[in-house]
Structure 1
Amino acid sequence: MADDLLSNPRADRVKAVRALADRSARRRHGRFLVEGPQAVREAVAPGGGCVHELYATPDAAQRYADVLAAADAGGVRVRLATPEVVDAMSADAQGLVAVADLVHAGLDAVVAGAPRLVAVLAHVRDPGNAGTVLRAADAAGADAVVLTASSVDVHNPKVVRSTAGSLFHLPVVTGPELPDVVAALRDAGVAVLAAAGGGAHDLDDLLDVAGRAPQGVPDLAAPTAWVFGNEAWGLRDEDLALADAVVRVPLRGRAESLNLATAAAVCLYASGRAQR
């Protein structure tokens, strides 16, 4: 399963893997880093990512023998390496780091699949937030996630780690402009809801009438795409104007607002519950 132990942290192979933390290197080689046991486990699972190489310390190879066995069964080249080598590749590897092809999904393919729940991130820049929303979308049963132009690179190492493996569970579309995303989803019969603090519709009120919403009121039981905006300024007026409705998450206590990832999780789970 594994070749001889890699022991030189200054080797060209080690430098090449470490370089994938940089966006320009990822674009040039078409590959990215998958760091840590959970993310690597999901990447090498059947139907996961296209993994080319897996590096593991001897201790991690024993502790996560199931991960190495799955990688080996999938034809992934597995290399044992000293802790110094793996740390040189990634400070966040926890003993396991893999190299995989960039994850790509097309917007046309997503809408052709008749999605019922989609998360759209518009100009979201924080990698931790983006990864956490993707993870929440996966947990809520979403059919896809879209990151529009000017959003963070989904292959950024912090985004990948924050998804905890969910990056390999559902289609992720990157790069289209928000008007094009909204038009494609609407043509596919998906209602587009923008999440914003000043929304005309209260999320709890929409849950109360889900499945029997009166005319002019969004029905959370119907196919829905949620649009979430930038962490600092939210959604711009022109972005809000694209949506079929703007929805606010009710704040019962004294908190001024919810952060992006928390608000997204609340909205996505509301739709998931209504559609169940």
Structure 2
Amino acid sequence: MIESTKNPTVKRVARLKQRPEREETGLALMEGPQVVRELLAHAAATVEELYCTSDGFDRHPELAQAAHAAGIEVEFVTDAVLAAMADTRTPQGVLAVAHQTPVRLREAFVEGTRLAVVLDEVRDPGNAGTVIRAADAAGADVVILTGTSVDPYNPKVVRATTGSLFHLRVVTGVTIEAALAEARAAGLAVLAADMHGEPLPGTDLSGPTAWVFGNEAHGLSDTARGLADRTVAVPIYGAAESLNLGTAAAVCLYASAFAHRA
């Protein structure tokens, strides 16, 4: 058991909260029982280390069983040590370190891809994680984060995805031009969510589609808007000024999902 917060392992793991450390090592923090459950179920081969408090181990025996089945050793730590490693103020007793698994853009659009998401310069971790989760729920295959979008392995993004990060092909660090060119080459129409676009109801969504969602504060860039086949708006029927990014994206993605299954 690791009992001291001054242990070099604790400091090494804690540094993964910082993007430069994640980029240098290719590792990331996976925190909380739901995230670790999905990690073990869908990407166990990427797990480098798994830490549990005694209480966390007792409350989540299925995680210990899944780790054992995958040949992963559980390292016990004290509550104070886990708190020092974790990004949250009140960690839930389990934390893993795993290798990141982004895919190359040219590998993202495999045959049969019908729904993809492009996040263009999206900076907020909670929003990015929520959209990734919504994309997974709606049956999307691919999520692309362009330019200086938030790192999908930011601990806040990882938690917000609740494990959906491990169900999708995720691409990072590409230009909007490259992302949309690849989507078109794969036969997907490019629709950009924009408050000045055509109303979502009535839009033909039956074909394979790549949805583009822009920055929270500034919306779509002129470049993204110009590259889209169409811009589409989620109508506001009440008195609300607007929808936040996560909600608007969920509405758009589910509209596509319903159309694909009609």
TM-score, normalised on structure 1?
0.91
How far residue 113 of structure 1 moved from its aligned partner, in angstroms, is: 3.1
Which residues of 2 match residues 30-109 of structure 1 at below 5 A? Answer: 30-47=26-43, 50-92=46-88, 93-109=91-107
Q: Which residue pairs with 2:185 in the alignment?
A: 187
Cα distance, 1:65–1:95 mapped onto 2, change above 3 Å: same
Gaps of 5+ in 1: 207-218
Choose the corresponding residue for 1:266, options 232, 242, 251. Answer: 251
Describe the SS at the equivalent of 2:92. coil
| Alignment match, 1:135 | 133
SS at match of 1:88: helix
Which of residues 219, 222, 234 in structure 2 aligns to 1:237? 222
Once residues 202 and 43 of structure 2 are traced to their aligned partners in structure 1, the CA distance between those partners, rounded to angstroms, is 39
Residue of structure 1 in register with 2:241 after alignment:
256
Cα separation, 1, equivalents of 2:126 and 2:42: 26
Query: Is 1:203 paired with 2:200?
Result: yes
Pair 91,236 (structure 1): closer, same or farther in 2 beyond 3 Å: closer
Does structure 1 residue 24 correspond to structure 2 residue 20?
Answer: yes
Residue among 12, 29, 40 paired with 2:8: 12
2:237 is paired with a residue whose SS is coil
CA distance in 2, matches of 1:68, 1:54: 10
Deviations along 1:160-210, one digit per CA (max 9) or x if unpaired, are 1111111111111111100111111111110000000000x211122xxxx
Asked if the contact 1:39–1:165 (Cα under 8 Å) also holds between the matched residues in 2, the reply is yes
Asked whether the 8 Å contact 1:8–1:85 carries over to 2, the reply is: yes
Q: 1:168-187, aligned counterparts within 5 Å?
A: 168-187=166-185
1:238-269 CA-to-partner distances (Å, cap 9, x unmatched) read 21010000000011001111111110000000
Matched-pair contact (CA < 8 Å) for 1:48–1:169: no
Structure 2 match to 1:162: 160
Deviations 1:20-57 (A, max 9, x none): 00111111111010011100111111445611111000
Q: Is the 8 A contact 2:42 2:167 kept in 1?
A: no
Q: CA RMSD in A?
A: 1.1
Number of residue-to-residue matches in the alignment: 259
Could you report, residue by residue, the CA deviation over 1:204-248 in whole angstroms, capped at 9, with x for unpaired residues?
Answer: 122xxxxxxxxxxxx301000100000001002221010000000
AA aligned to 1:232 is A
Partner of 1:145: 143
Q: Which protein has the bigger strand share?
A: 2
Partner Cα separation in structure 1 for residue 42 and residue 234 of structure 2: 37
Q: Secondary structure of the equivalent of 2:95?
A: strand
How far, CA to CA, are the matches of 1:10 and 1:198 in structure 2? 54
Normalising to structure 2: TM-score of the pair? Answer: 0.96
Percentage of matched positions with identical amino acids: 52
Greater CA drift, 98-107 or 245-254: 98-107
Structure 2: 5+ residue runs without aligned partners? none
**Deviation (angstroms), 1:72:** 1.9
Distance 2:134 2:32 in 1: 19
Does the aligned pair in 1 maintain the 2:126–2:157 contact within 8 Å?
A: yes
Indicate the SS of the match to 1:53.
Answer: strand
In 1, distance between residues paired with 2:159 and 2:42?
20
User: Aligned partners of 1:266 and 1:101: how far apart in 2?
Assistant: 32
Helix, strand or coil at the partner of 2:195? coil
| Secondary structure in 1 matching 2:157 | helix
For residues 45 and 187 of structure 2, the distance between their equivalents in structure 1, rounded to whole angstroms, comes to 30
